[in-house]
Chain A
Amino acid sequence: QKEVEQNSGPLSVPEGAIASLNCTYSDRGSQSFFWYRQYSGKSPELIMSIYSNGDKEDGRFTAQLNKASQYVSLLIRDSQPSDSATYLCAVNAGRDYGQNFVFGPGTRLSVLP
């Protein structure tokens, strides 16, 4: 059973602070990793993807991947109230046909003005 784990939160940070979201996964053969943002009542939207160990930055977002530790994180700098949402970690552990997305339960982030 492939699993993706996240702290459910809520994680509360003040406006302007750095929010740190963490995710671990069980399938060591996983190749690609994603962070989705989901506002209440809306569908998930992709904010970051990462494939190699290390950091990947995109604006205020930085994804970090450590395959040896089976760990993915997302940092949000200068957090804004509009960042308040549930953040879903997803892993593609696909093999033969390339597609096997497993989502974590999500971490609810609240950015306080």
Chain B
Amino acid sequence: GAGVSQSPRYKVAKRGQDVALRCDPISGHVSLFWYQQALGQGPEFLTYFQNEAQLDKSGLPSDRFFAERPEGSVSTLKIQRTQQEDSAVYLCASGVGTYTDTQYFGPGTRLTVL
């Protein structure tokens, strides 16, 4: 079956622009995670959804970052007034159940802020 998909795969933004990154999880997956991965680093947790409920947003680095999953499937990560330090790969992962341990990662969106 189809895996986790993300779009766009690459995004170049000028500093100050707003961007929206989309994640399509595996159909029926309850859990959805967003991570930020800087070059040469491991993924850093941003936020977690269980269906449409955002249960943990402790990893969002500032109030410029906002995530939603209004119908419990597709999720969007929005970054307002992008800054150069936002340049990274943004990974989305989904999991089957409420307390799933197995995450399936999407291919990521590489964001470059000029």
Please report A residues at the B interface, Cβ cutoff 8 Å.
4, 8, 32, 34, 42-46, 49, 88, 90, 92, 94, 97-106
Contact = CB atoms under 8 A, between A and B. Distances in A.
Nearest to A97: B55
Contacts of B101: 32, 34, 49, 92
Interface stretch (B37-45, B60-68, B74-82): B37-45
Given A46-B103, A100-B56, 16 more contacts: A4-B42, A34-B101, A43-B91, A43-B108, A44-B105, A88-B42, A90-B42, A94-B99, A97-B55, A97-B56, A99-B33, A99-B48, A99-B55, A99-B56, A99-B99, A103-B43
Contacts of B107: 42-43
A45 B52 CA distance: 25
A49 B102 CA distance: 8
B91 A100 contact: no
Interface string B71-114: 00000000000000000000100000011111101111000000
Chain B: interface residue count, which band? 20 to 34
Dominant SS among interface residues on chain B: loop
Contacts of B91: 43-44
Nearest to B102: A46
A44 B37 CA distance: 11
Contacts of A102: 45
Contact of B50 (A34, A97, A100): A97
Q: Lowest 10 A-B CB distances belong to which pairs?
A: A103-B42, A98-B99, A43-B105, A97-B55, A105-B42, A103-B43, A32-B101, A106-B42, A88-B42, A44-B105
A41 B2 CA distance: 20
A52 to B, nearest CB: 13
Nearest to B106: A43
B98 A101 contact: no
Contacts of A97: 48, 50, 55-56
Interface string B46-57: 001010000110
B29 to A, nearest CB: 13
